[in-house]
Amino acid sequence: MVKATTLVTTRRPFRFRWRYVRIPVAVVLMALYFLPIYWMFKTSLQPEREISTSSINLWTTSLTLANYVQVLSDPLFATWFKNSVILATSTMVISVLVSTLAGYSLARLRFWAVKFLGRPFLLAYVVPSVMIVVPVFVTLAGFGWQNTYHALIITYTSFAVPFSTWLLRAYFLTLPTELEDAALVDGCSRLGALFRVILPLAAPGVATAGLFSFVLGWNEFLFAFVFVFTEDMKPLSIALQRILAQTIAASSADLGYYGFGAMFAMCVLVAAPILVVFLFLQGWLVRGLAAGAVKG
Amino acid sequence: MAESSAGAAETRPAFRARHTPSFWYRLTNSEAVLALVCIAPATLLLLFILAYPVIQTLAFAFYSRDLLKAELGTQFVGLANFAWLLDYDRFWLALQNSVLLTVVTVFFELAIAMVVALMLAEPFRGVGIVRGLFILPWAIPTIVTAFVWRGLFSPRYGLINQVISEVGRLVSGPSYQFQFDWLSNSAFAMLGVIIVYIWRGFPFVFLVLLAGLQSLPQELSDAARIDGANGWKEFWYVTLPQLKPVILIAVILRTITVFNWFDLVWLLTGGGPQNATLVLPILVYNRAFVAFQVGRASVITAVMFVILAILTYFFLSQQRDEEHAR
């Protein structure tokens, strides 16, 4: 009996089992991948004198909020933050509305011209933003729109619309037409069916498109850099870039606009709103992109 | 009443004509009109902000327009800008750098994301957290990404130099200190930029592949396993072919984004040191906003646009073939 068992165990060849290593390897990779973000948080909570060192300190016992206090007590920071919120929120609302209508039209309504319009929407994604920044600036400055919110909002929206439309079209295609037909039979208009029946069902797609537009409006750099020239109209991305350039040009950390730690605190504060929204919408995000990716 | 008149209409066509909806009713309830009205805002926006500037830029490629010599105005120069471009060494350098950056970044993004997506496709306890942390950098603003990585690479405060110093101290005594400015070294700057690009672009590819993997039917994998395929064969012959459309989408979207990306590389290195990370978008920016030569900047963007348009067309026809094959 004993002999038989040993025979069986020795005979079994060694097999590499993917499922035993996959979780530990995934966790280690994740830790490495996440390290820069962790490092940013850690540095933002450290006192200035601890940051400039040649030894690794991945954690610290002398946590301090002094860096955050310094950034948040800067009245300009509130202005920059407000500007970013206005730009990103307007971009999100307008582009979701526009893309929902366009995506619905492409997915559901049958008309030869609309079919013809579908492909250029994807081609719009190919346009390099450095390519159009000069003509767009010349055109909008011709309207006297330089240094305004609406010039930026309209450009950001047009950047967000192609991808959002494509995503929403794909999501609408995954929904059964029967529900819509039922609403139409019950006396709903086409648009009523879209807003009362389709949109609630397409929530993950809408959320993904909205988040995408918001992130675009929040992060955009080049156009804001070219369009905005007064301090009170700058969004966070431009303000942070200027401070970063100053800090790096300064010979020592405390000669810059902020110290090194305060810079990282500002980085955290710039990233925070998106991270929060993102954590709430994450489940929807996977489903929203899934439809977009799979249905093409 | 209504029913009987409808019946009458069917039997007597002449009578039915009087009941056809009015022109106004047909206009407001027609699917064609609604389709056009719905798509109009998006189309107008794209025409105004994308199509018109693109056409203008393509036209500018044939003109000489120097903002510093405004008295010369805009002059038609034919193909002179193209001739200039062929002789312009920095253009060829930037093109080479752009292609290198794009190909290497997209390839490694795809390869790493594939491995991680395969690891995380099947659920386990805590899979949501692991997936979430892998996706998180997607939400980090570009400027923050650039700043944090400049911090990591920095000679004085950087984590990378700290790690090397720490290892060095173990080997050669406690006084060892490693100071190397990664992004200011022309041999390493491009590698540094590629690493940051991969880090930043990974979540999107990962999400797309994960979504693709989860939508695959389980039956084919089961059948392959019953037929004796091992894990690798199952992946290569069953999973990968089914994922092909999704991979195509990820590749083309990432190629376009990376090729056109100005912000990140500009914030990381500004195209330096010694043009080691000079890519096409930076060259365009320098021509347009530093040298103020709009015509010459337009020629470079026209070339970028044509390259990407050809690639996208190729992708779309590939996708169409896939659809026909199914």
Higher pLDDT, A224 or B67: A224
User: Which residues of chain B have a CB within 8 Å of the CB of A154?
Assistant: 45, 49
Residues of A in contact with B326 (CB under 8 A): none
Give the gap in angstroms from C-alpha A87 to the nearest C-alpha of chain B: 15
Which residues from chain B sit within 8 angstroms of residue A124, using beta carbons? 46, 50-51
Ranking B18-22, B114-118, B146-150 by mean pLDDT, the lowest is B18-22
A98 and A290 Cβ atoms separated by less than 8 Å: no
pLDDT band at B7 (very low <50, low <70, confident <90, very high): very low
B11 vs B269 pLDDT, higher one: B269
Cβ distance A290 to B150 less than 8 Å, yes or no, reads no
Q: Using CB atoms, which residue from B45, B119, B131 is nearest to A157?
A: B45
Residue A290 has a pLDDT of 66
CB atoms within 10 A of CB B15: 12
Contacts of A267 in chain B (CB under 8 A): 144, 147-148
**How would you class A278 by CB atoms within 10 Å of its CB: exposed for 0-12, middle for 13-18, buried for 19 or more?**
buried
Domain ranges for chain B:
81-325
CB contact under 8 A, A293 and B249: yes
**Domain made up of A69-295: CATH architecture:** Orthogonal Bundle (1.10)
Query: What confidence tier does B314 reach under pLDDT thresholds 50, 70, 90?
Result: confident
When pLDDT is averaged across residues A5-10 and rounded to a whole number, the result is 48
Residues of A in contact with B262 (CB under 8 A): 128-130, 221-222
Q: Is A250 on the interface with B (CB under 8 A)?
A: no
In words, the CATH class of domain B81-325 is: mainly alpha
**A134 vs B288: CB contact, 8 Å cut-off?**
yes
- Predicted local distance difference test score (pLDDT) of residue A259: 75
- Among A128, A222, A264, select the one facing B305 at the smallest CB separation: A128
Q: With 60 as the cut, is the pLDDT of residue A226 above it?
A: yes
For the residues B263-273, what does the mean pLDDT come to?
86
| pTM confidence score | 0.82
Nearest CB among A105, A124, A285 relative to B50 is that of A124
pLDDT, residue B190, reads 92
| Cα B93 to Cα B35: distance, rounded to the nearest angstrom | 47
C-alpha count within 13 angstroms, C-beta hemisphere, residue A29 = 19
Q: State the best of B144, B160, B312 to mutate against chain A, taking most chain A CBs within 10 Å.
A: B144
Q: Is A139 on the interface with B (CB under 8 A)?
A: yes
Q: Does residue B198 carry a pLDDT above 90?
A: yes
- Indicate the SS3 state at residue A264: helix
On the CB side of B151, how many CA atoms lie within 13 Å of its CA? 28
Measure the CA–CA gap between A39 and A58, rounded to whole angstroms: 7
Question: In the predicted model, is pLDDT for residue B4 greater than 60?
Answer: no
pLDDT over 90, % of chain A: 10
A226 to chain B: which residues are within 8 Å by CB?
289
At A277, is the pLDDT very low, low, confident or very high (cuts 50, 70, 90)? confident
Shortest distance between the Cα of A210 and any Cα of chain B, in A, equals 13
Residue B99 has pLDDT above 90, yes or no: yes
Average pLDDT for residues B234-239, to the nearest whole number?
82
- B114, B126, B274: which is closest to B189 by C-alpha? B274
pLDDT at A17: 62
From the CA atom positions of chain A, what is the Rg in Å? 26
Q: Does residue B249 surpass a pLDDT of 50?
A: yes
Q: Would you say B178 and B161 are in contact if contact means Cβ atoms under 8 Å apart?
A: yes
Average pLDDT, chain A: 80
Sequence-distant (≥ 6) Cβ neighbours of residue A212 within 8 angstroms: A160, A163, A164, A167
**Beta-carbon neighbour count of residue A115 at 10 Å?**
12
- Residue A248: enclosing H or E segment and its boundaries? helix A236-249
A191-224 tens-digit pLDDT: 788 888 888 888 888 988 998 899 889 988 889 9
Q: Using CB atoms, which residue from B39, B157, B211 is nearest to A293? A: B211
Give Cα separations from A32 to A26, B189, B199 (angstroms): 10, 21, 11
Percentage of chain B beyond pLDDT 90 is 14
- Of A246, A283, A278, nearest in space to A262 by CA: A246
- pLDDT number for residue A296: 44
Of the candidates B151, B166, B281, the beta carbon closest to that of A128 is on: B281
Q: Cβ of B120 and A275 within 8 Å?
A: no
Contacts of B132 in chain A (CB under 8 A): 279, 282
Please report the pLDDT score of residue B199 as a whole number. 94
The whole-angstrom separation of Cα B50 and Cα B65 is 21
User: Any idea where the domains of chain A sit in the sequence?
Assistant: 16-64, 69-295
Rounded mean pLDDT, A136-147? 83
Query: What pLDDT is recorded for position A109?
Result: 78
H helix and E strand count, chain B = 17, 2
Decide if A105 touches B, using CB distance below 8 A.
Answer: yes
pLDDT band at A13, cuts 50/70/90? low
Considering only the beta carbons, identify the residue of B31, B177, B312 that sits closest to A109. Answer: B31
Alpha carbon A112 to chain centroid distance?
A: 34
Residue A153 scores a pLDDT above 90: yes
Pairing mode, strands B63-65 and B74-76: antiparallel
Per-residue pLDDT at B105: 95
Report yes or no: B251 and B106 within 8 Å, Cβ to Cβ. yes
Quickly state the pLDDT bin for B66 (edges 50, 70, 90): confident
Residues in chain B, how many?
Answer: 326
Distance CA A263, CA B144 (A): 10
Inter-residue contact B79 to B61 (CB < 8 Å): no
Average pLDDT over residues A72-100: 92
A118 forms beta bridges with none
Beta-carbon separation of B52 and A191 below 8 A: no
Query: Across chain B, where does the E strand assignment appear?
Result: 63-65, 74-76
Quote the pLDDT of residue B17.
52
Of the two residues A4 and B206, the one the predictor is more confident about is B206
Task: Identify the residue with better confidence: B31 or B304.
Answer: B304
Distance CA B308, CA B292 (A): 25
Q: What is the predicted pLDDT for the residue at B3? A: 44
